[in-house]
Amino acid sequence: MKIIRGIVILLAFYGAGIAASKWLHIPLPGNLTGMLLLTLGLCMGWIRMDWVEQASSFLVRHMMLFFVPIIVGVASYMNLLSQDPWPLLIALVAGPMLVMLVTGRVVQWYLKRQRQKEKPSVQQEGRALDA
């Protein structure tokens, strides 16, 4: 019975996330918005962890079943992929590399900017002493 209640709560937050994303034009997928709402509910104490813990453990334990349709869908395109695998291979290698490179550069830029904000310049110190 606890699993059913937990699944109902999880589905309610999933539906609320989809509705919020559509109605409020939030630029996030509905399932992510629902997870954020669930996290907010857990942090604020509106939802107790033991209400959803068994259901979420059950779903995570059987997560591979949710990927079966995707695997079957990819398998149906195997003849197309075997004819010209290079675009897929390039996308699988270059995509994550590009994401890591851009993320690393943005983090380096941000940290450099934070360090510059933290140490005052000589001119600012002089002005502070003059005042």
Q: Could you tell me if 18 and 43 lie in one domain?
A: yes
Q: What pLDDT is stored for residue 122 in this prediction?
A: 55
The residue segments making up the domain with residue 1 are 1-65
Contact 38, 13 (CB under 8 A): yes
Q: What pLDDT is stored for residue 78 in this prediction?
A: 83
Q: What pLDDT is stored for residue 128 in this prediction?
A: 55
Is 70 within a domain?
Answer: no
Residue 126: is its pLDDT beyond 80? no
Is 88 within a domain?
Answer: yes
Q: Could you tell me if 58 and 93 lie in one domain?
A: no
Tens of pLDDT, residue by residue over 101-119, are 999 999 999 999 889 888 7
Q: Could you tell me if 89 and 43 lie in one domain?
A: no
